[in-house]
Amino acid sequence: MTTLFISDLHLDAERPAVTELFGAFMQGEARRADALYILGDLFEAWVGDDDPSETGAYVAARIREVADAGVPVFFIRGNRDFLLGDTFARRAGIRILPDPAVVMLYGKPAILMHGDLLCTGDTAYQAFRAQTRNTAWQAQFLSQPLAARLAFAAQARAASAAHQGGMKQDNQASFETLTDVTPSAVEATLAQFGIDTLIHGHTHRPALHDLTLGDRACRRIVLGDWYEQGSVLRVEPSGMALEKLL
């Protein structure tokens, strides 16, 4: 009995080895799981469900095989694939969850998030996030030709890389703080839901953090990214383990 969690795969045609690793994972242990949760940034970029990319088709097919094998697959949108919609969900056989979402794991509740909402110190990003999650903005963006949307996504990635590169150069310590979660946001989320376990990705800092909130012992689990190798959280009735896929 195992439930699997992955996040921040950033699958892209330019990194075929990672896409192949994802395929092997889906054709292997994912098919034997009780459930699979993908907590955002499955793709490096997603500009609409009408994107005919081979990577998108391959990923959808591998997920559908898992779903057809009887394993429920759940997805939370990330900051790179927040435009992933119902058409892709039906194609892949996934259920899209809100961010945050509360699920039961072997009788115990857990909060699931992509994780970007917890990075409140990066005010520029939070402003961009608020804009791009607006339904009117999304409708206007999706009405543009596919080529224009792909160009926008490329420009946005370049601007993000430049922004982060500038922060690193100016002040490495400040960069680390701004791109990680804000402790007060974590505490507020745990307090809001009254739940002791929080699982998220986004920051690319895989770890299991134990913390105390009042008289409650809580745990925050951060999933790893798939840039250099795979990363998976395995949760069983007896406990959990965050491990690499080589």
**Boundaries of every domain in the chain:** 3-245
Show binding-site residues for Mn(2+): 8, 10, 41, 79, 114, 202, 204
Q: Could you tell me which residues come within 8 angstroms of residue 98 by beta carbon, excluding any fewer than 6 positions away?
A: 76
Q: Which pLDDT tens digit goes with each residue over 218-243? A: 999 999 999 989 999 999 999 999 99
CA distance 132 to 82: 8
Q: HSE-up of 189 (CA within 13 Å, CB side)? A: 27
The domain 3-245 having CATH identifier 2.60.290.11: the answer here is no
Show binding-site residues for substrate: 79-80, 122, 160, 171, 202
Q: What is the pTM of this model?
A: 0.94
Work out the angle at residue 35's Cα, subtended by the Cα atoms of residues 236 and 185, and round it to the nearest 5 degrees. 75
Asked whether 203 and 214 are in contact (CB, 8 A), the reply is no
Asked whether 10 and 226 are in contact (CB, 8 A), the reply is yes
Q: Could you tell me which residues come within 8 angstroms of residue 221 by beta carbon, excluding any fewer than 6 positions away?
A: 5, 197, 198, 199, 200, 207, 208, 209, 233, 240, 242
Structure tokens belonging to residue 172: 């490495």
Instruction: Give residue 189's pLDDT band: very low, low, confident or very high (50, 70, 90).
Output: very high
pLDDT score of 177? 61
Show binding-site residues: 8, 10, 41, 79-80, 114, 122, 160, 171, 202, 204
Q: Which pLDDT tens digit goes with each residue over 76-132? A: 999 999 999 999 999 999 999 999 999 999 999 999 999 999 999 999 899 999 999
